[in-house]
Structure formats: structure tokens, C-alpha cells
Structure 1
């Protein structure tokens, strides 16, 4: 029995060792399979960046413990930003480039399979409500196609300290954390996705600017102001103003600041107009705006007012800008608004517009900005018509002109000259008609673009554009004569007579 018992023990131990070996081998195989995804693409089926029609970025602000969403999507044949009232995403190429960069991301290195490392590596899902930690939350990026199928999804975290150019990346719902060379991190800034230049006007094309300095508010009503017209013949000509006194001129420095501000007027926020107001503003004459309670309330809330006959007025008057393309911009400046982040970009929403999954991003910093409405019209008189050949001056009686003999209509030179003149006139007419057509088209495009929106622009731009006579007019500057400053020519320092060593002043003494 003793020998049999010993034999049984040996067999049991052998079986146990064999089982352990099998388990160890299986664990090694499993571990090898688990780590063999290094260097592989995250989403191998995502091969066409043009399939992406929806990009969403979720960021987390630990100071307010809120997650903010930014989304760009293709809707009704237009790229829009849903969080900003479906404002057009003019920088649509950014989406395809971002999609292409995300599509190529690979699992460059495996950093951890430990869930406890997520906070330290900054890859906690910003939408994960089960995690209480405020720090260590990354940026979640989701790309979808037209059917809302997820093409790719990541949580991008902190930089990998020992791998230059890599960021910690995790796929939502998975524990593994990778080191990845992130080529393009999608921006959540509204300004990065839109055309921020409001007017897109070339300063060299500006020919006339009218400053209508009236004021309107609910307490004092309408206060009439001076209307100032400043114009120039071309981009190289000086600005002039009718009615200036002999010793006055338009301040060229101020006008340079005005034209620069108009050419670079930035959009820092948008607000959606009521549908009825948008519809009326898209009319060709832009007159007869329908007076409804929502329209009046919306306008007055931004510093704009309507007269009984349907004309628009604004808190800080109007500035009308005329271009050599026939396009006329009317800028109406409304109330001041303060804020930063989402508060500045989209303002306060009505309760019906607020979404639980889109909390408002707050920022302690504020800046002075101002509401502005822009309308556009077309004025064909701004485009010069083709010049008609002037008639030759009459010849005094008894005096014959040098070309007294009429040209022979059959002369080849005469025929060629007439043909050249005819073609020139036809080309000039065609060019004029094209400018008229292009100007009308441009005005219509801009009208459709501006009709739906109140814009928020920097307060500094308003102060550079909305000027009165005191700012625009200065005493006429007398240019210094050549060879020296104003005064006695040729002497340094101006007109004082130099002092000579032979006396207190004047010319030197003459000795016989």
C-alpha cells in the first residue's frame, strides 16, 4: 500500500505539472495574441475619408466639470455646425483632411492595459459619467458616415514623455492604451471652421463710404446725426469730402484704419434671426419688413429697431460702403455684448433650443464686442460705362484743319482702323455688361449669406469703422519743401537765420 500510495502521489504531481505547463503555454499564446496588434491600424475598414459626413469632438473642462461638444456635419447638401445654429462650415476641406489623418492612425506602441493608468495618461472618456475624476479626461473624437455608422472613434490624451510626437490614445470601451503619432488633432474652435472675414471685401475696391451718425434707443428715441460722405476716384487717389473748409482735409490715417478694419472685420459670434425677418431680408428691394412680435423682440434685443413703415434702424447708426464692383454694404451697429467661449459664439439659447448633451462652455475672461447686421444692394452707377468717342472740336470759319480731306471709305487702312475701333467698342461693352452681371450675382450671394444672421464683431473694429467728423477731418497738412523743413529753405532746423561768430546775428561784417 505504501509503494502504491507513493506511485499515486508521483502520478498526481506529474499530472499537475503537466496541467500547469498546458495552462502556462495557453496563457503565453493568449498573451502573444493580445499584443500582436501593435503596428496595426485602429480601423482597417475605414479607407475612404470622403465617406465621413459627421465629425464630433467632445472636450472636457475640469474647472466647470462639463463636457462640451463641437460637431461638423453634412446636412441638406451643406456643411454646417449644429452647435452654432447650423452655421455654414466654410472650412469644409478641414473635415476631409482631418478624416484622412485619423484614418491613417496606427497602434504605434502599447503603453498599458491597466485601467488605473487612464487618469495619469489623460485618456478617461469625457462622456463617462461613471468616473468621478475631473482630471485626466481626454478629447473624444468620433467620425461617422451618412448612415451614422461609426467609422473611427478615439480618446486622445496627454503626450507620451518617452516617445516624441506620440500621444496616449484609447478606443472608447477598451482598456488598452497606445502611444500614437497623432498627425492632426481636430479643432474645437468655431473660428477654425468658418470664414471669419465677414465682408471679404478688398480695401483697394472701396470708392465711397457714408457715415450716418444717428442714434436710437428705447429711452430717448431717434436722434438725428450728421451724414458724412467720403469718396475717392480710385485706389491711389486721396479721400475727399464735400463741403470742407479751405484749411481742412480728410485724415488719410483714419481712412486707412477704416478700410483696413472693413477688409478684416472678424466674426467672433453668430445669432440666428427669426425666419420671417430672414425671408424679408432676402427680398430684392429689402423693404417692407413684416412687423411681428418675434421679429421686433429679436431686433430690439440686439440693438436694432423698426419704423412703422418697415425701415431698419440701429443703436449706433449706419456705415454704407460702396465698391467699384457695384456692391453696396450697409453695416448697422447694435448693442454691446460681453462674453467668451460659447457664451460669445452662440449666446444664450431659448429653453427649447438647449440640449442636455451640449452644456454651455464658460470662461472667466470677457471682452467687449458688438452686434452688427449687414445688408447688401447693387448700384450699377458705381461701374463706369464705356467711354463714347468724343466729337472733334469745331473749326473756326476760314481755317481748315490739318485733316481737311475726308478719308477714303474704301481705303484698306480706313477699313482696318474702323474695324479695330468697332471691336474695341464691342469688347468694352461686353466687359461692362459682365461687370454688371457679376456685381448683381455677388450682391445676391452676399444677401443670401447675411440674411439669416446677426453677427458679433470685436468692439475695436466698431471703433475703427464708426467715425464722426471730429475723427475724419483734420487741419490741412502743408508738405515740407524739398531740401529742408518748412521755413527758410536750405537751412537746417527750419527758418531761423544762423548766428555767425562776428556778431549776435545777421550777416558777417565786411572789411575793406
Structure 2
């Protein structure tokens, strides 16, 4: 072999070795940080040493693998950098209640300590369940596929990322984990439940945000509505209105319909209010109080917060399909407006503050075939399977909670006002006492005693002559036991009166008459503090009432009119303020409800339905079957055929 051949062979060998080395570096997983620091150096050290502030995390992404779809499933929570509002991008940006939950999740990775490093061999990943769910090679979900968790900051830079695998055998609370793109597997103590993709953990799950004690009135419209290729099918069952009466509920009205002839007038069966099923009503109100939803879908454009559709929605086939498949149908009423009718009726509940919630019950989610109305077996089976039902919610102001106040009429003359005052005083005083009835008072105790009857013709006691006394006669104070006895009616006229006493020159009859006149002279009202205030002055029979001049009458009338006008204005303003408060609350609630279909558990829906079977105690008539299919059928109330369906 020549020198040139030897040289060439050496060059080829060197090149091959170089290529092999490069290939090894490319194929082998990146472990630069591990090689630099050494695996043993990471033991008992934080896995994410630069992640120290949970508030720095403004985005969380959790990816797991769904065996049913054969695809990875992503759950995201993100804080909008401009509005600072948390939303869930994986749920069409539904608002998230994420402040505390995000802090809890981030704290799960902060100071996460490496307890052990069992391997740095990629071949062990499957056994330890740390396969990346986003890898293209993953086709099915099994215990070898882990859960990928990634935290990002407001610049959307990754600050921590981890694949969570299987639990460590015989080591409670410890899990196998690894960083994406790296081979080493670590053992850490991590509560996986703190980093959850459970939708309900990230939202305000109390949908209506009302209290059961505030619900004052319920209206249940039990009907069904569906659309087929042959026409619309509408079957109305019953309408019941209940009102809270103290701690109990009473049935105000009940209308029942013939399902086969829903356009016929309803019957109003007689019912015993005492037989209303208290358990059913209590469960219904409690279900409203604790109404939870398990998922959401965004509604199409063109549907207002009060669920009225515009003309664009009526002509939008895609939007209609979104509504129809979930059991909600825009129908045209007599005024030409489009309003929603739901597949399984409505329920409204008015609260003490005058806000009325209306719930529209749609189809079961995820099922192409819906249980027929009245098919209790199918409905029960659906509930047991854990299915959900679509729901739409809207609110409004219930005007019946704001009746016009009773305003006091404005008198045009002083005489008119005086008559009104006299009539009001007579009405407030109630029936007058029978003749001979008087009210006795016990001033010492400060209390009144019931009226006692005394003969109207009772005469004063016969006077007895005073006994002679040779000593100088002086008035003596009455004994303690005799303080309530009347004084001796006969007193020496020449005897001077004690300080503060009236001269004793009157007879007993005159003294009694004078006391009666004084009691009639003024009406005295005692305030809560015990002070007495004169609220009215009566004229004695021998005194003529003071006559007012025309100018004085006019001035007095003007003052009275102004006082009444101010009182009336206060009543009107109070009503206006209460209505404004209710309107504001309704608007705020509708901002939450307007864009969403909600999914509620079927078990909750069953508690919100008032039927012929559960409204009263004891056995009642079973639910009637649906009415026949009728092409172009028009529901009562002016609703016309659905647009775009060819009927």
C-alpha cells in the first residue's frame, strides 16, 4: 500500500469516527445540566432552583392522554397581561377563579426536593410512567404515559416543566418525575392533587350565587319541545306557581294541559295546599342554592343576555345547529321577536330582592338519542350513567316585587286635611269602648292595666262628719298604706295650704271634675326614654277654639302639603332605588351567563323538575305521553314555525 493510500485510509477513518461521535451526541437525550453538575450533586436539592415566587406563574398548561379519543388533552389557565383577568383558554376562555388555586399549584413545584435519582436511562421511562404525552409515538394511554405540567411567566417563558409519572412502590406520597427532554428520573414528594386539570377546581362552581332562604316565588313550566324532519313536536304538561309563606310553601296556581291538544285551554284542578310535597320543594330550592356545573360551551353570536335572538341568528344555519343540538330553539312570537324555547321546559325563581332567575333545560349532553318525555326508566338510566344536561340561564327584574307605593293624597284645603286626619285617627284607635268602660293607669309602676267596668251611674261615697279634736288641727300626711285612699273631703277652709298644694276650698265633686278637665286638656305621649311630649291639645268645653285667619290657614296648608309631598317622594325614591339595585344585579349576572351553555348533572336536573308525580304527596297521575307529531305546529302564545327548517 502506498503512502498516499495509507494517508487516504487514515483520513476516512478519522472522518468516520468524527461522524459517529456527532451522531451519538445528536441521538442521546440532552443531559447537559445533569452532566455539568453531576447527578449526585442534585440529590437533596431543589429541582427548580430558580422558581421561588408562586406569583410569577401566570400560566399553567397540563397535558394528559385521553384513551377514548387517542389524543392528548390540554387544560390551560392563563392570566391576561392587560386585563389581569384569569381565563381558561381550553374552555373558550371561560372566566377562572384561579388566584388561590394557581398559587397552590405553583407552590407544589417550588422547593420540590430531589429525594433520589433511580436512573438516567431512557429505557426505564416506560416502567416509571414518565413517557411524555405529547410525543408522536404515543398512540394509546396506559400507565406508562405521564402528565406534563408547565408553568410560564407573564412573558410566556417557561419557568418550570415536569412530567409526573407513577407512584414509588411502598413510599406513600412519592412519585417518579422527569424534566421534558432529559433522561434522568427523580423521586420527589409531591401531592399531585394540587396540580389538577379538574375544571370545577378552577372556577366559581356556584352558578347562580343565590341563597335558598332568599327564594320567594317559583314558577315551573313543564313542557317538551323538539324538532323533527316532519315538523315540531310540542307537549305542555303543567304550570305551577308557588310562593313562600313563612317557613312553608303554598301553591298559588296550577294549570294542567292535554298533551295531545296543547292548544286547548288548560284545566285548573282543585288541590289541597296542605298536600304540597314539602320534600320536593325543599330539594328544588336547595338544588338552586347549590347549583353546580361540570362543563361549559360557548354560545353562538346573535343571542342576547335575555336570550332573545336577532335576525342574523335566525338566518345563521351554523348558529341554529349549535342551539338545536343542545335542545334550544329560537321561535318567533306574535311581535316578530325571536325567543328561546327549550327542549325540556323552564323554571323561574324570584328572590327577595326582586331578581328573577330563569333556567332553560335542554338536551342531555353527549347523547344523540334523548330520552322521551315521561320515559322515567331512560331518564333514570341516563342519570346513573353520570350524564349531564345542557342549561341556559338568564335573569330579569320581577316587577311584582316592586308595587307602586300607597301615596298620601295632597289636600287642597285645611278642612280636607283635618277630615283625613280624623278618619286616620279613628281607624288607628279601633273600636270605641262600651259605655261605662274606663282605662285605669298605675303611675307608680308606669304601666297600664286592662279596662275595668264600673257602673255608669256610680255615686260618690257619702261624706262622714269630721271627728272633733280639741288640739290644734293640722293636716297630716297620709299613712303609707293609705296613700291610694282619697283624702278627707271636708277640710277647714281657713287652714292654709301646704307648699305646692291647691287651697282646700273645693268639694270632692269639684276636685274630680277639675281632674277630668285636666286629663282632657292634653294628649300626652311617653317616649322610649320616659319623657312626656304633648302631641295634641284639646279645648276645654268652656273655651272656644282659636280661629285662624285666612292667611294663617294658607300658610299651615302649604306646610302640610310640602310635608306630604316630601313623604311621597321618599316612598317613590326608595322604590326606584330598590329597582335600580335589582336591575344592576341582574345585569351583572347576565354578563356571567350570556355567553355560555352550562352542563349540569342529570341528578341535579331531576330535582329542579316539578311533575304531576312529585308536586303533591302520595300517588298522582303518571306523566302523559308526548303529543303527536304535527308539521308546522304552532305552540301557544304566538310562537310560529322555526325559521330555516322548511315547515
State whether TM-score is above 0.5.
yes
Equivalent residue of 2:284, what SS?
helix
CA distance in structure 1 between the partners assigned to 2:298 and 2:589 by the alignment:
16
2:327 to 303, 313, 322: 303
Paired position in structure 1 for 2:354: 326
Paired position in structure 2 for 1:344: none
Seen in structure 2, the aligned counterparts of structure 1 residues 398 and 169 have a Cα distance that, compared at 3 Å, is: closer
Deviations 1:118-174 (A, max 9, x none): 111111212222578964221111000111100101111111225442211111111
Alpha-carbon contact 2:361-2:389 (below 8 Å) kept:
yes
1:375 to 386, 390, 394: 394
Equivalent residue of 2:109, what SS?
helix
Q: Does 1:214 align with 2:223?
A: yes
Alpha-carbon contact 1:58-1:140 (below 8 Å) kept:
yes
Larger Rg: 2
Deviations 1:410-435 (A, max 9, x none): 99935699xxxxxxxxx999998876
Alpha-carbon contact 1:88-1:194 (below 8 Å) kept:
yes
1:117 to 115, 124, 146: 124
Q: TM-score, normalised by structure 2?
A: 0.56
Structure 2 unaligned spans of 5+: 1-34, 255-269, 368-383, 408-423, 440-518, 536-569, 620-647
Equivalent residue of 2:287, what SS?
helix
CA distance in structure 1 between the partners assigned to 2:218 and 2:115 by the alignment:
59
Q: Does 1:452 align with 2:595?
A: yes
CA distance in structure 1 between the partners assigned to 2:251 and 2:65 by the alignment:
54
Q: Give 1:287 deviation, angstroms.
A: 5.0
Q: Give 1:381 deviation, angstroms.
A: 4.3
Deviations 1:230-260 (A, max 9, x none): 11133x1343334743586211121122122
CA distance in structure 1 between the partners assigned to 2:288 and 2:53 by the alignment:
41
Alpha-carbon contact 1:240-1:249 (below 8 Å) kept:
no
Paired position in structure 2 for 1:156: 164
Seen in structure 2, the aligned counterparts of structure 1 residues 115 and 287 have a Cα distance that, compared at 3 Å, is: closer
Q: Give the length in aligned residue pairs.
A: 410
Moved more, 388-397 or 453-462: 388-397
Paired position in structure 1 for 2:258: none
Q: Give 1:471 deviation, angstroms.
A: 2.4
Paired position in structure 2 for 1:27: none
CA distance in structure 2 between the partners assigned to 1:44 and 1:93 by the alignment:
22
1:68 to 51, 69, 73: 73
Equivalent residue of 1:328, what SS?
strand
Matches within 5 A, 1:309-458: 309-338=337-366, 367-379=386-398, 381-382=400-401, 392-393=428-429, 396=432, 405-407=522-524, 413=531, 438-458=581-601
Q: Give 1:301 deviation, angstroms.
A: 2.4
Q: Does 1:292 align with 2:321?
A: no
Q: Give 1:38 deviation, angstroms.
A: 1.3
Alpha-carbon contact 2:67-2:141 (below 8 Å) kept:
yes
Paired position in structure 1 for 2:64: 59
CA distance in structure 2 between the partners assigned to 1:327 and 1:32 by the alignment:
64
1:179 to 182, 187, 200: 187
User: RMSD across aligned C-alpha pairs, in angstroms?
Assistant: 3.9
Seen in structure 2, the aligned counterparts of structure 1 residues 54 and 472 have a Cα distance that, compared at 3 Å, is: same
Alpha-carbon contact 1:79-1:90 (below 8 Å) kept:
yes
Paired position in structure 2 for 1:498: none
Deviations 1:10-47 (A, max 9, x none): xxxxxxxxxxxxxxxxxxxx898442121221222222
Equivalent residue of 2:320, what SS?
helix
Paired position in structure 1 for 2:241: 229
Seen in structure 2, the aligned counterparts of structure 1 residues 133 and 112 have a Cα distance that, compared at 3 Å, is: farther
CA distance in structure 2 between the partners assigned to 1:251 and 1:316 by the alignment:
22
Moved more, 297-306 or 125-134: 125-134
Seen in structure 2, the aligned counterparts of structure 1 residues 338 and 133 have a Cα distance that, compared at 3 Å, is: closer
Equivalent residue of 2:248, what SS?
coil
Equivalent residue of 2:250, what SS?
coil
CA distance in structure 2 between the partners assigned to 1:318 and 1:254 by the alignment:
17
Q: Give 1:470 deviation, angstroms.
A: 3.9
Seen in structure 2, the aligned counterparts of structure 1 residues 124 and 40 have a Cα distance that, compared at 3 Å, is: same
Q: TM-score, normalised by structure 1?
A: 0.69
CA distance in structure 2 between the partners assigned to 1:430 and 1:96 by the alignment:
46
Q: Does 1:104 align with 2:111?
A: yes
CA distance in structure 2 between the partners assigned to 1:473 and 1:259 by the alignment:
16
Paired position in structure 1 for 2:207: 198
CA distance in structure 2 between the partners assigned to 1:69 and 1:177 by the alignment:
23
Greater RCO (CA < 8 Å, at least 6 residues apart): 2
Matches within 5 A, 1:2-151: 33-61=38-66, 65-75=70-80, 76-129=83-136, 135=142, 136-151=144-159
Seen in structure 2, the aligned counterparts of structure 1 residues 123 and 398 have a Cα distance that, compared at 3 Å, is: closer
Structure 1 unaligned spans of 5+: 1-29, 340-364, 418-426, 477-512
CA distance in structure 1 between the partners assigned to 2:386 and 2:525 by the alignment:
76
Seen in structure 2, the aligned counterparts of structure 1 residues 429 and 159 have a Cα distance that, compared at 3 Å, is: farther
Paired position in structure 1 for 2:496: none
Alpha-carbon contact 2:167-2:176 (below 8 Å) kept:
yes
